[in-house]
Structure 1
Amino acid sequence: MQIFTTTQDLRTFICQFKSQNPQKTIGLVPTMGALHKGHLSLIEASLTVCDCTIVSIFVNPTQFGENEDFNQYPRKKEADLHICAKAGVEIVFMPEVSQMYPLDSTLQTTFNAPAAMANVLEGKTRQGHFNGVLQVVLKLFNLVRPDKAFFGRKDAQQLLIIQKMVQDLFLPLEIVPCPIVRNEEGLALSSRNAYLSPSGITQALRISASLNAVTKAIMRGIKDSYELKRIALEVLEGLEVEYLVIVNHELQNIEQIQKNSTLILVVVRIEGVRLLDNLWF
């Protein structure tokens, strides 16, 4: 496994790889590190279908708001490298901030996410967050020039906005959505789960249970969004539900679900920990 810390070394490798292996494919797995089984599933998906897998590990400052502590975000360099090496990753790109943002902030080119998709739900209280996400993702796409890039469905809003950017800018790559990874009891994996007590974990299981209840209702033929939300909220009764919405892939509220274009998003706070989950239908 090779580790690159500068954009120049990465670009040199990419140029050589593409000139020497014109038929081989590159898969990119963008991460902010602190890797867990969810990230590993993205890496394994890339290793399965691509000839060369590149994992980026970069805590991106431009997606952090004023009240979000960029410096406190967990950084586990040695553990992350061990996971990548054990999985069989060919390249890890681990740059410093100065490599990704070499100019003063007032001289940098910025990028705006589509407002209708970026200023709702997660973006409602994190103004500018998705602008920063797209800025760094586009930089990575331009540096790596991947054939495929792998993102988890758990961060549904992020995934949809990145897909929209690729479509709008005619970027020559495929975004590969990967399933949510859960533990044996159904809880969606997240680094935030570590902050929960055993009692909190038990409560958190009601989140996936609410989505399972919705799935069963849909299988019974229920398509009304109001009724499906009522069913989910009944399971979540007593918990602090920040939002539970049923939307299309443009993140617009819908009254009736439609197959292959519906997303049910839920955010619940348990013991002060903000937990996300969703159901793609």
Structure 2
Amino acid sequence: MKIFHNKTELTHHIDDLKAKGKSIGFVPTMGALHNGHLSLVNKGLSENDVVLVSIFVNPTQFDNHEDLAKYPRTLEADVSLLKTVSDETIMVYAPTVEDIYDSNIKSQSFTFDGLEHEMEGAFRDGHFDGVGTIVKRLFEIVKPNRAYFGEKDFQQLQIIKKLVELHNLPVKVIGCAIHRALDGLAMSSRNTRLTPEHRAAAPFIYKTLKTAKTKFGTKSAKYVTEWVEMQFETQPLLELEYFIIADTKTLKPVKRKSTKKTYRAFIAVYAGDIRLIDNIALN
């Protein structure tokens, strides 16, 4: 498996592959890989000749410095996991902060037609400027044909699609279904930091989302939201940060349902000091 730490060496290799007519799939990650990431890699391999996985903990998208410091960095284990899928058709780009940002570790400012102000944007100051900065930079370095993102970060997925549209980037962004543990918990690198007690409580999040989806078929968004808030009041190990039913295109909270629109329920929950997000399509 080819592992690159330097963008110049990587771009030369990618140029060689493209000169031979090879298509490049791209899966950007912050490492601590799990089966959810592997599902993205497998999707990429089914549609491209080669897949590049970037492993980079991006400092500019953390509003909490303690969270950045604690984020797991497990490159050796990540490479071993990727080798279980393929040793030949997967490459890894694991750059240093300097290789990505030179000496200017700073976000660009972006506007994404208002998508950046909803949900996560309201709770994590500057987060999507950091996401836009690193994804745009990686797209410029990797020049992939297609890039794969999980729907667990659905707002991020919509913002990256908007980034590509606004900046005319020559890459097709593909959203992939949320990969879940058998008990329904959405796969996340943060799950490894849950205590046994919080891990046992966490599947309640998806269970509640599924019931909310059923209720949304006959009840108003306001009713469903208040019902979800009451459910979490019964959970001493889980603290609800937000539950929002939003239009999938604008990500704005729904006031009145329309049969002409599609909706999604979004949730953020603290299990101890670990913040978990999830979402579900409602119609």
**Counterpart position of 1:279:** 280
1:28 corresponds, among 26, 29, 32, to 26
The amino acid across from 2:45 in the alignment is L
**Counterpart position of 1:237:** 233
Contact 2:60–2:107 (CA under 8 A) maintained in structure 1: no
**Counterpart position of 1:187:** 185
Note the alpha carbon deviations across 1:88-129, whole angstroms, 9 max, x for none: 142111111111111435xx7824243732233222232111
Tell me the TM-score normalised to structure 1 length. 0.89
The amino acid across from 2:225 in the alignment is K
Pair 119,68 (structure 1): closer, same or farther in 2 beyond 3 Å: farther
Pair 56,245 (structure 1): closer, same or farther in 2 beyond 3 Å: same
Contact 2:267–2:279 (CA under 8 A) maintained in structure 1: yes
The amino acid across from 1:99 in the alignment is D
Gaps of 5+ in 2: none
Q: Which 4+ runs in 1 deviate beyond 4 A?
A: 257-260
SS at structure 2 position matched to 1:154: helix
SS at structure 2 position matched to 1:33: coil
Contact 1:4–1:93 (CA under 8 A) maintained in structure 2: yes
Alignment of 1:252 with 2:252, yes or no, is yes
**Counterpart position of 1:265:** 266
Instruction: Give the fraction of aligned pairs with identical amino acids, expressed as a percent.
Output: 37
The amino acid across from 1:128 in the alignment is G
Gaps of 5+ in 1: none
Where in structure 2 are the equivalents of 1:162-181 lying within 5 Å?
162-181=160-179
SS at structure 2 position matched to 1:177: strand
Aligned counterparts of 2:44 and 2:50: Cα–Cα separation in 1: 8
2:39 corresponds, among 38, 41, 44, to 41
Aligned counterparts of 1:75 and 1:260: Cα–Cα separation in 2: 41
Where in structure 2 are the equivalents of 1:1-281 lying within 5 Å?
1-21=1-21, 24-65=22-63, 67-88=65-86, 89-105=89-105, 110-114=108-112, 116-218=114-216, 221-222=217-218, 224-239=220-235, 240-248=239-247, 249-255=249-255, 256=257, 258=259, 261-281=262-282
SS at structure 1 position matched to 2:203: helix
Deviation at 1:179, TM superposition (A): 1.0
Note the alpha carbon deviations across 1:39-91, whole angstroms, 9 max, x for none: 11111111111111000111112112364453332110110111122211421
Contact 1:222–1:228 (CA under 8 A) maintained in structure 2: no
Aligned counterparts of 1:95 and 1:257: Cα–Cα separation in 2: 46
Contact 1:119–1:127 (CA under 8 A) maintained in structure 2: no
Aligned counterparts of 2:233 and 2:64: Cα–Cα separation in 1: 33
What RMSD, in angstroms, separates the aligned Cα atoms of the two structures? 2.1
Aligned counterparts of 1:26 and 1:223: Cα–Cα separation in 2: 45
Note the alpha carbon deviations across 1:180-211, whole angstroms, 9 max, x for none: 11111111122222333443233222111111
Pair 216,104 (structure 1): closer, same or farther in 2 beyond 3 Å: closer
The amino acid across from 1:196 in the alignment is L
